[in-house]
Amino acid sequence: MAERRFEGKTVMVTGAGTGFGAEIAVRAAAEGARVVVHYRSSAAGAEETARRIRDAGAEAVVVQCDITSWADVKRMADAVFAEAGTLDALVNNVGDMAASQTSWRELTEESIDHVLAVDIKGTMVMVHEFGQRMLERQRGAIVNIGSTVIVRGSPRAPQYAAAKYGVLGITKSYARAFAPHVRVNTFAPGFMRTDAVVNRADWKAGRERELVAATPAGRIPAPEEVAAAALFLASDDAHHMTGVYMTCDGGYTMLGA
């Protein structure tokens, strides 16, 4: 049985209609949270996540927003706080890894603009709008989902690595701006068996075997296996942690002393 770290609390997860976001949202519900499920285009996925949350005995609220639009994020933030009254934790899970790209040689200006708009601008305006409302209430925790790609780089999609470096700057800046009342941290999972990853051409062509061999833990986990670790940074257990970059990758990016 899951811990009840979020009993009586409200947790919002962006991009919760599919993949890792859906599993974080369902895990938060299993731990007692009322969950705000955000989606941009996957309405059916968001409703399925909401159903799973309700099946777990928790309350779900579904909201739609294009996080690359500051005006749309403001609208959503006003709606969420009007509905919930407060927000105890926000998990900024939405990101674009340019999954269809298999090499840096395929880089396009359109892809650069889109990935940076989603991962950097989108994360920043979410932290800015929701964080300042948390700060007014002098409580809250924000978890930005990063990536271990910043340690090793990405010859496949350098725009993705650049974007996730940007997330670190956002995390550290707002951790200082919102201290001591609102904590802001980055959670960096390694590779997970999400649909976006396992359907990549390079994954099917042997990348999976290479990664398993290079991971001390010896396996690539499903997203639901990592969700509780992401929520640790949103919980009171992490009350003295802000501005940190925390990895959960089976040792893949382990560094020497």
Backbone angles phi, psi at 240, to 5 degrees: -105, 20
Contact of 248 with 230, CB cutoff 8 Å: yes
Q: What is the DSSP letter of 133?
A: H
Angle at 128 between CA 51 and CA 120, to 5 degrees: 80
Q: Give the number of other Cβ atoms within 10 Å of residue 110's Cβ.
A: 8
Catalytically annotated residue among 160, 165, 245, 252: 160
Catalytic, 245? Answer: no
Residues 6 or more apart whose CB falls under 8 angstroms from that of 35 comprise 10, 11, 12, 13, 16, 25, 28, 29, 53, 58, 59, 60, 61
- Helix, coil or strand: residue 39: strand
- Helix, coil or strand: residue 70: helix
Contact of 253 with 211, CB cutoff 8 Å: no
- Helix, coil or strand: residue 1: coil
Residue 144 belongs to what H/E stretch?
strand 141-145
What tokens does 119 get? 């991962």
Q: Which stretches within 95-157 are classed as H helix?
A: 109-116, 123-136, 149-152
Task: Write out the catalytic residue numbers.
Answer: 160
